Structure 1
Amino acid sequence: MAKRNLTIITYHFVRDQGRSRFPGIKARTPDAFGAQLEYILGRYTVIRMEDLFRALADRAEDLLRGSLLLTFDDGYREHFTHVFPILQTAGVQGSFFPCGRAVMERAVLDVNKIHFILAAVKDHSRIISSIFAALDEMRPRSDLRDNREYYRELAVPGRFDTGEVIFIKRMLQRALPEHIRGAITDRLFREHVTADEEGFADELYMSAEQLKHMKEAGMFIGSHGWDHRWMDTLPQGEQEREIDLSVDMLRVVGVSERELVMCYPYGAYSGPLIDILKTRGFRCGLSVDLGIADLDRDDPFALKRLDTNDLPVSAGEPPHEWTGPAAQEEGKSP
């Protein structure tokens, strides 16, 4: 039997940075996305989420050669305005994973507040100084560590971010107690981005009607949780709440309980979280673990993905680390 390997590509922002108020946001331009899709269509077979369901349900079900799944995280409005028309023209499906709270309550998620704070303030040391000043103010009435200790532990460069950026993200995403990091994030967002959170959310995220329209047009809509939290760190009750509220949102846009897929916020998952997903009828889960998914070996609730930056943008580029071996293994020339 042929190897059942699946390349799953992750996209986030797809926007025209030349016209953006926040040119510092890391994004694919619509033209670059279109060029990369052309590259993909010439070398892979773009499958639908329904094809993945069949392959997971039946180990004898082969995937098409060079199978690839397109996924889009966070439910940005630009996925509707830029990505959706390109996919329709190409005749392929994309799988979109919005957070329920952004859709239903028009609130800006903390993960995005941090993105736009970083984009609005070019000198990231200023943000760090503001965080430290806030911690110094709160320390007498809170159990907080020394600022230098936080920095030594967390300021470690990542695949796409500097040590300073990783430090800011980790402090405001998970290292600090939730009420403290939320207060600091809200203050920085109001100071550097906007005080009109609802208006900003309307500009940033898709609406329920837009998601419903894409679903009816053949796109796939899945869960990205309710509030984009590190779900592996939450107590069971909070995990269940995140999942159940997100499923409520999916029902509103027309998603059947027979087609539930979880795309983990931050890629964070755990055994207990997966157990809850199974009790709710989810079919699989998408991580940010780097690699090509092997449906015969991998846990279907921890499927690996690649980032858009792991693939060439055009046919003229040399093969990247993942495209050469993957394409050759599946019998396609990169």
Structure 2
Amino acid sequence: MRLPILMYHYVRPNGMRMSMRHHVLDLDLFNQQLDVMAQKFEFTLGNQLLNAGGDGSVMENRIWLTFDDGYRDCIDYVLPSLLKRNATATVFVPTEAIFERKLLDVTKIHLLLSSTQSISDIISVSRQYYSDANLESVVGESFDQLYEKFGIPNVYNDSNNHFIKNLFQKLSPISVRKQFLNQVFEFFVKRSESSWVDELYMSPDDVAYLSAAGIEFGTHGHSHEWLANLPAEDQVSELTKSFKFLDTVTDSRTNRLIAYPFGSYSETTLNIARGLGVQIGVVHRGAKLAQLEFDLSEHLELDRIDIMFFDQFMNREFD
């Protein structure tokens, strides 16, 4: 059978939108979506897939809501809306942001892209820094070559937007990429990282509170890296560290779930996850319903639907 799994990130009042370049869902629209879903589905959680055993009929007419990145939106706006409708959800958190209070690179990129109306300005400053720091000698590619490789538009981004995201997510080596991003970020974003952390991310106490309220938690990695691009030992470190933090405020018997950051994983990732007791994993390979095989003891590659495709999903375009 197939299960709809919806993927959310930011959910906040319209006046708090960071930028039209990000898929920040308006809170009123989220509430409308919940009302529609509550009429048609029963809300479920990841662990309930395992509890179903071999009887797939218990999962019929279910829907699973998932939220990535551990934003404060989950406790400030999402939880009240869920409780009002007797609904529940799963939150996948990158534990470095929550427990070590560090601003993730992926969030820095969101803030960077929201800092100016002209992405061309960001590209120009990035080009200048790349030249001044002689990064071509380290990376092995010119800035123009990087643009050709990374500036490929997709359904979510135009060429410039996707270039900046890929440049600061995928450039190797990682240490060079992080320093590069920090320089450009500080040029455009005139605020301390610590102030952003407190504004954007939940705290460990928030996670514990949500868990006690019935919200399910899983890992989104520790530092939200592209797992498939990391050596095996670094992947082990990412996931081991993340679960160690999660275990301090949530139940280790129910938190062994994973949403692969950026949807990036490999067979090595799957084997590492299995070794850590993970039986449920969600991916992002386009707008697809998850295919469930109830004779299996694990579900490590369940597809999710980005919430930007909600209307198409409700119109049964993915059936």
Partner of 2:251: 255
CA distance in 2, matches of 1:137, 1:69: 48
How far off is 1:302 after superposition? 0.9
- With the length of structure 2 as denominator, give the TM-score of the two structures: 0.93
Tell me, yes or no, if structure 1 residue 26 matches structure 2 residue 18: no
Verify the 8 A CA contact 1:8 1:71 in the aligned structure 2: yes
Alpha carbons of structure 1 residues 256 and 23: separation in structure 2 relative to 1, 3 Å: same
Tell me, in whole angstroms, the C-alpha distance in 2 between the residues paired with 1:198 and 1:22.
Answer: 21
Q: TM-score, normalised by structure 1?
A: 0.89
Which consecutive unaligned segments of at least 5 residues does structure 1 have?
313-319, 330-334
**Structure 2 counterpart of 1:123, one-letter code:** S
- Which position in structure 2 is the counterpart of 1:316? none
Asked if structure 1 preserves the Cα contact closer than 8 Å seen for 2:284 and 2:305, the reply is yes
**Equivalences for residues 83-98 of structure 1 within 5 A:** 83-98=78-93
Amino acid in the other structure paired with 2:256? L
CA, structure 1 residues 17+189, in 2 after alignment: closer, same or farther (shift >3 Å)? farther
Q: Is 1:324 matched up with 2:296?
A: no
Q: Structure 2: any 5+ residue segments left out of the alignment?
A: none
Corresponding position of 1:75: 70
> Is residue 50 from structure 1 mapped to residue 42 from structure 2 by the alignment?
no
How much has 1:200 moved relative to structure 2? 1.1
Deviation string 1:73-106 (CA, Å, 9 cap, x unpaired) is 0000011100011001111111001111001111
Q: Which residue is equivalent to 1:332?
A: none
Paired letter, 2:305? L
AA matched with 2:87: V
Q: 2:173 aligned to 173, 177, 193, which one?
A: 177
Residue identity in the other structure for 1:246: S
Supply the distance in 2 between the matched residues of 1:63 and 1:124 (Cα, whole angstroms).
48
Instruction: Give yes or no for contact 1:135–1:144 (8 Å, CA) kept in 2.
Output: no
Q: Percentage identity across aligned positions?
A: 27
- One-letter code of the match for 1:41? A
Contact map agreement 2:256 2:279 (CA 8 A) in 1: yes
1:135-186 per-position Cα deviation (integer Å, ceiling 9, x unaligned): 1123275243122211122211111111111111111100342122211211
User: Which residue, out of 117, 127, 131, partners 1:132?
Assistant: 127
Instruction: Supply the distance in 2 between the matched residues of 1:175 and 1:135 (Cα, whole angstroms).
Output: 12
Q: CA deviation at 1:25?
A: 4.2
Cross-structure match for 2:97: 102
1:248 Cα deviation from its structure 2 partner = 1.1
Q: Say if 1:172 and 1:181, in contact at 8 Å, map to a contact too.
A: yes
Of the structure 1 ranges 141-150 and 215-224, higher mean CA displacement relative to structure 2 is found in 141-150
Q: Count residues in correspondence.
A: 315
User: How far did residue 258 of structure 1 move?
Assistant: 4.8
Separation (CA, whole Å) in 2 of partners of 1:66 and 1:325? 16
- Pair 1:13 & 2:13 matched: no
Match in the other structure for 2:309 = 310
* Alpha-carbon spacing, 1:35–1:92, altered in 2? closer, same or farther (3 Å): same
**Partner in structure 2 of residue 151 of structure 1:** 147
- Indicate the residue corresponding to 2:114 in structure 1: 119
Q: Which residue in 1 is equivalent to 2:204?
A: 208
Q: RMSD of aligned C-alpha atoms?
A: 2.0
